[in-house]
A = this chain, B = another copy of it.
Amino acid sequence: MDYQALVDDVRSDVHAYRGSGKVASYIPALAQSDPHDFGIAIALADGTTYISGDGDTPFSIQSISYVFSLGLALHHVKSALWNHVGREPAGSPVNSIIQLEIEKGKPRNPLTSSGALVVCDQLIGKRGIEETCEELLAFLRERGDAADIAIDERIAMSESRAGAFNRSLAHFIAAFGNLRNAPEDVLSVYYRQCSIAMTCRQLARAALFLAFDGTDPAKGDVVCTPSRARRINALMLTSGHYDNSGDFAFRVGLPGKSSVSGGILAIVPRTGVVCVWSPGLNEAGTSLVGAVALERLVERTGWSIFV
């Protein structure tokens, strides 16, 4: 397959949609994004990557980070994680706290905001905030093949200032005794993790182990067991796009994770990883143009896990 042609063609496919959707406005730093931006990257088994458009433009990865912090938390605390967070789809909007009350402070899954806070808390464990952030950065630099991946501190500050909802989530979870660390410490790691800046190319490269049963196929490193990689993919499929996960599975048919900054990571088992980015969001908070791009890509390639 001519992968460069593929990513260029998909970029052409979505040309008419550019500028659609609504840029996230809850934090000032994101509100300035341009909905006309569009990038796509594919990473393949041998580590080669192909990009089109703004595939080398860094953006704050926001909740795409949840996938990687989940991987690290499972490494550290293993299945004990599931005492603190479930693995069922949320079935409710991204900004809802209702379910968390009904289920007594145990988030539905690690790919929601509340679940990611619990994952952060477990990840911190008995370490400090800095050490926890450093481990995640080191992991992303190693897997993403890019030594300069860093936190965008301006975004992190903006998130922390504007983050009343996430702050209420953290204190609410703490009220049920489901945080080991002080809520402000957990939030500090959380906001910094969300503010890591990466490009489509780096993200696709970094997630490659998930498409190959836990092993980075280019470097040969065993990142996690096959079973854990499959399970992370399963969670992405059922819960990777807030309250749009069912629709994404229906239309695209690949495990994926959306971010409020407009990125979408999509795993193609045994083939590679695709990452798209375009800041305009649909009503459920997934990149509107990004989702269309992945739909077209799957039509062109037949890369659905459902056949």
Chain A residues close to B by CB (< 8 Å): 86-92, 95-99, 101-102, 108-109, 164-165, 167-172, 174-175, 183, 213, 226, 229-231, 233-235, 237-239, 243-247, 249-250, 253, 255, 269-270, 304-307
B168 near A164: Cβ-Cβ < 8 Å: no
Contact A109 B246 (CB under 8 A): yes
A270 to B270, CA, bound (A): 15
Quick one: given A183-B164, A213-B307, are A235 and B230 in contact (CB under 8 Å)?
no
Q: Is the CB of A246 within 8 A of B175?
A: no
Q: With a CB–CB cut-off of 8 A, which chain B residues contact A95?
A: 175
Of the residues B88, B167, B169, B175, contact of A247 by C-beta under 8 Å: B88
| A269 interface neighbour in B101, B270, B307, Cβ under 8 Å | B307
Chain multiplicity (copies) = 4
* Extra pairs beyond A88-B243, A235-B250 (9, CB < 8 Å): A95-B175, A97-B98, A165-B175, A168-B171, A230-B306, A230-B307, A234-B249, A237-B238, A238-B238
Main secondary structure of the interface of A (DSSP, over half): helix
Contact residues in B for A168 (Cβ distance below 8 Å):
167-172, 174-175
Q: Who on chain B is nearest to A213 by CB?
A: B307
Q: Which residues of B contact A305 (CB under 8 A)?
A: 269, 305-306
Which residues in B have their C-beta under 8 angstroms from that of A237?
237-238, 249, 306
Bound-state CA distance A228–B48 (Å) is 33
**Given the interface contacts A88-B243, A88-B247, A168-B171, does A307 sit within 8 Å of B229 by beta carbon?**
yes
- CB contact between A238 and one of B89, B97, B109, B169 (< 8 Å): that residue: B89
Task: Report how far A110 CA is from B103 CA in the complex, Å.
Answer: 25
Q: How far is the CA of A166 from the CA of B240 in the complex (A)?
A: 31
Q: Is the CB of A101 within 8 A of B91?
A: no
Q: Are A172 and B165 in contact (CB-based, < 8 A)?
A: yes
Nearest opposing residue in chain B for A96, CB measure = B101
Is A245 touching B238 in the complex (CB atoms < 8 A)? yes
Are B91 and A306 touching (Cβ within 8 A)?
A: no
Q: Which 10 A-B pairs have the closest CB atoms?
A: A91-B91, A89-B89, A168-B171, A164-B175, A88-B246, A168-B172, A233-B306, A165-B175, A230-B306, A234-B249
> In the complex, what residues of B have CB within 8 A of residue A165's CB?
171-172, 175
Q: In the assembly, what is the distance between CA of A102 and CA of B174, in Å?
A: 22
Min CB gap A215→B, angstroms: 11
Instruction: Provide the bound-state CA to CA distance between A169 and B270, in Å.
Output: 43
Q: Find the B residue at minimum CB distance from A177.
A: B164
CA distance A109 to B233 in the complex (A): 22
A233 contact set on B, CB distance < 8 A: 306-307
Task: Please report the C-alpha to C-alpha distance between residue A239 and residue B98 in the assembled complex, in whole angstroms.
Answer: 20
